[in-house]
């Protein structure tokens, strides 16, 4: 099952980029034997300043055809890492070939795109910088693959 992280804004070189690339590589390596991955990141930029509706249009175009859509949203479901791993495995086992995790810009995700989503995930009630959420999601994807593989990375 291919994984696409669709996000508003460009992540430039720096510590966040290094971490994101590292966790994506780890996920791809661990997930390969589990039919998870590869993972990719598609960044969109609203250069015309159209706000959330324009961002939603760009994000929707970045989602692969037929992909399950999971938005990262503060109103989404909060779950422990083992439950997230189980959810990812269930989507794979249901025959989903693509899943897209959608991360909005500074103002969040437009309600029309949020309404189209199959799932909504929250990293807690605190609001996180959307650039940092990519890294957090990539780490959780790697952790989920590690849990499903029986690796000792996750210690709970």
At 129, the pLDDT band (50, 70, 90 cuts) reads confident
Specify whether the CB–CB gap between 109 and 63 falls below 8 A. Answer: no
Domain positions in the chain:
2-149
Give mean pLDDT, residues 90-100. 97
Q: Given this model, what pLDDT does residue 131 score?
A: 87
2-149 CATH: 3.40.1280.10
User: Which long-range contacts link 146-150 to residues 24+ away (Cβ below 8 Å)?
Assistant: 146/30, 147/81, 147/82, 147/85, 148/34, 148/36, 148/85, 148/88, 148/89, 149/30, 149/33, 149/34
41-88 pLDDT per residue, tens: 999 998 888 899 999 999 999 999 999 999 999 999 999 999 999 999
Q: Given this model, what pLDDT does residue 39 score?
A: 98
- Could you tell me the two tokens for 143? 């952790």
The residue among 130 and 67 whose pLDDT is bigger is: 67
């Amino acid at each position: 099952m291919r994984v696409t992280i669709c996000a508003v804004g460009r992540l430039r070189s720096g510590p966040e980029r290094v971490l994101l690339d590292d966790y994506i590589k780890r996920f791809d390596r661990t997930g390969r034997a589990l039919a998870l991955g590869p993972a990719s990141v598609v960044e969109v930029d609203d250069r015309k300043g159209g706000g959330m509706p324009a961002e939603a249009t760009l994000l929707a175009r970045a989602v692969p055809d037929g992909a399950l859509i999971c938005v990262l949203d503060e109103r989404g479901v909060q779950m422990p890492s083992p439950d997230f791993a189980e959810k990812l495995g269930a989507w794979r086992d249901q025959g989903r070939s693509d899943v897209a995790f959608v991360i909005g810009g500074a103002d969040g995700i437009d309600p029309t795109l949020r309404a189209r989503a199959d799932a909504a995930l929250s990293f807690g009630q605190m609001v996180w910088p959307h650039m940092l959420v990519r890294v957090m999601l990539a780490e959780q994807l790697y952790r989920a693959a590690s849990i499903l593989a029986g690796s000792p990375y996750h210690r709970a």
